[in-house]
Amino acid sequence: MGPLRGSAQVPASKSESNRALIIRALAGGGTLHNLSDANDTQLMQRLLQQPAATIVDAEDAGTVMRFLTAYLAMTGRQVELTGTARMKERPIRVLVDALRELGARIEYLDQEGYPPLRLLGCTPQPATEETSNFTELRVRGDISSQYISALLMVGPTLPHGLRIWLEGKVGSRPYIRMTQALMQHFGAQCRDLGEVLEVRPQAYQPTDYTVEGDWSAASYWYAAVALAPAGSHLTLPTLRRYSWQGDQAIVGIMAQLGVHTEYLADEQVRLSKTTPAKEVMQDFTDCPDLAQTVAVVAAALGISVTMTGLESLRIKETDRIAALQIELAKFGGFLLDEGEGRFRAGSEGFRVAGQKVATYHDHRMAMAFAPLALLGSLAIEEPRVVRKSYPQFWRELEKVGFVTDPAPAPMF
């Protein structure tokens, strides 16, 4: 296969889309443009349009489960909220405990601390002249930022607003900032004071918003350019230079792995191949969804990358650390646990020669390993998992020169 050339369309940001949908629902109106076509976003839209439903199925979507738990609880819905078998293994106690403090009545229907949940309405503390201070919560900062975002978004609807004290190390803070920025766009007043987040009691205002392209999805095109022959370059539209998305960190990370980013007019970026570094150190605390992409590229290029901030990967769609270790080993790569939260990705004799990659029901496993096709043929099992965030992924690969065989799995 020769140098990669052309343009690849990335989907709209799923993270922005799902937050905007919740906030619009709380605001009672507004038009959202360029919503993501990801299954998670389409699911969120459908569920928000079913106010009479008594059972709500969040399927395998983490943002849907967590955001709807807060939204449905604090808007007084009486409903059962469930999900897939894997979703029932993903903890939600921290969010439920916080919502109970805010007046929500929530029961666990199976295992304590995990979905499914029964929501039984809400009785928030009424606002009075004598009790005009914020309603206060203390929440661990090292949990999924989606819990914190879920609480923030319902904050303006509370009689006293909300003050959240974050305890310990805070992970994925850019996602918290994204939530606050979208809240402010819809008229909320919120402040980030470091370890304290404040939201004033004030009704959201119906507002229009255009969702930008998804930097998480863009990471797979960075990987493709990193692994492609010299002279390769790709253009990606709808990506903003000044983005709220934490995964824009891929620009700096991939600069070390041999990909240069040029910002063009009309919200486009142009990726071109350069010389990579020999060793890289990267903290993924604020961008954990990039870890799989980087680990695969590092192993394929034989670059030693020390990775920290991977704690949340254990509770994603699958245990992503274990999944990476198993699948990289098929090619001669590794992800070594060096203790104290440090991992090292790399390889010894990396080779692509028809291996089958298991995806573990995880869209990011499929897309992180797919660019290895530039080094040889391979198969991706359960290719439809990409519908969760990037339904057009395989089609976009074909547009820039990849060859796929859809049966029984995409072969490159």
Domains of the chain: 14-210 (3.65.10.10), 215-399 (3.65.10.10)
Q: What pLDDT, on a 0 to 100 scale, did the predictor assign at position 133?
A: 81
Q: What pLDDT, on a 0 to 100 scale, did the predictor assign at position 101?
A: 95
Using pLDDT thresholds of 50, 70 and 90, give the confidence band for residue 317: confident
Inform me whether the pLDDT recorded for 131 exceeds 90: no
Find the mean pLDDT for residues 218-238.
96
Question: Is 78 assigned a ligand-binding role in the annotation?
Answer: no
d(CA 110, CA 381): 31
- Cα angle 276-281-287, degrees, rounded to a multiple of 5: 100
Question: Residue with structure tokens 């343009």?
Answer: 7
SS3 state at 54: coil
Q: What pLDDT, on a 0 to 100 scale, did the predictor assign at position 2?
A: 77
CB 303 within 8 A of CB 344: no
Q: What does the H/E/C string look like for 195-249? A: CEEEECCCCCCCCCEECCECHHHHHHHHHHHHHCCCCCEEEEECCCCCCCCHHHH
Question: Is 146 assigned a ligand-binding role in the annotation?
Answer: yes
% of the chain at pLDDT higher than 90: 85
Using pLDDT thresholds of 50, 70 and 90, give the confidence band for residue 408: very low
- Cα angle 221-222-223, degrees, rounded to a multiple of 5: 85
Question: Is 111 assigned a ligand-binding role in the annotation?
Answer: no
Question: Is 388 assigned a ligand-binding role in the annotation?
Answer: yes
Closest CA to 72 of 38, 46, 102, 104: 104
The dihedral built from the CA positions of residue 94, 95, 99 and 105, taken in this order, carries a sign that is negative
Among the options 40, 57, 286, 289, which is catalytic? Answer: 289
Specify the amino acid at residue 178.
M
Question: Residue with structure tokens 């057009």?
Answer: 392
Residues 6+ apart with CB under 8 A from 103: 122, 123, 124, 125
Catalytic residue list contains 40: no
Structure tokens at 394: 């395989």
Annotate 12-29 with DSSP letters as a single string: BPHHHHHHHHHHHHHHT-
Using pLDDT thresholds of 50, 70 and 90, give the confidence band for residue 291: very high
Closest CA to 216 of 161, 165, 287: 287
Q: What does the H/E/C string look like for 162-202? A: EEEEEECCCCCHHHHHHHHHHHHHCCCCEEECCCEEEECCC
Using pLDDT thresholds of 50, 70 and 90, give the confidence band for residue 263: very high
Count CB-CB contacts under 10 A for residue 321.
Answer: 20
Inform me whether the pLDDT recorded for 1 exceeds 80: no
d(CA 32, CA 42): 13
d(CA 334, CA 353): 17
Q: What pLDDT, on a 0 to 100 scale, did the predictor assign at position 334?
A: 97
Regarding beta strands 342-347 and 356-357, do their DSSP bridges make them parallel or antiparallel, or are they unpaired?
unpaired
CB 228 within 8 A of CB 3: yes
% of the chain at pLDDT higher than 70: 97
Question: Is 17 assigned a ligand-binding role in the annotation?
Answer: no
Question: Is 232 assigned a ligand-binding role in the annotation?
Answer: no
Question: Is 118 assigned a ligand-binding role in the annotation?
Answer: no
d(CA 67, CA 345): 33
CA 194 to chain centre: 22
Closest CA to 28 of 149, 137, 156, 132: 156
Inform me whether the pLDDT recorded for 142 exceeds 90: no
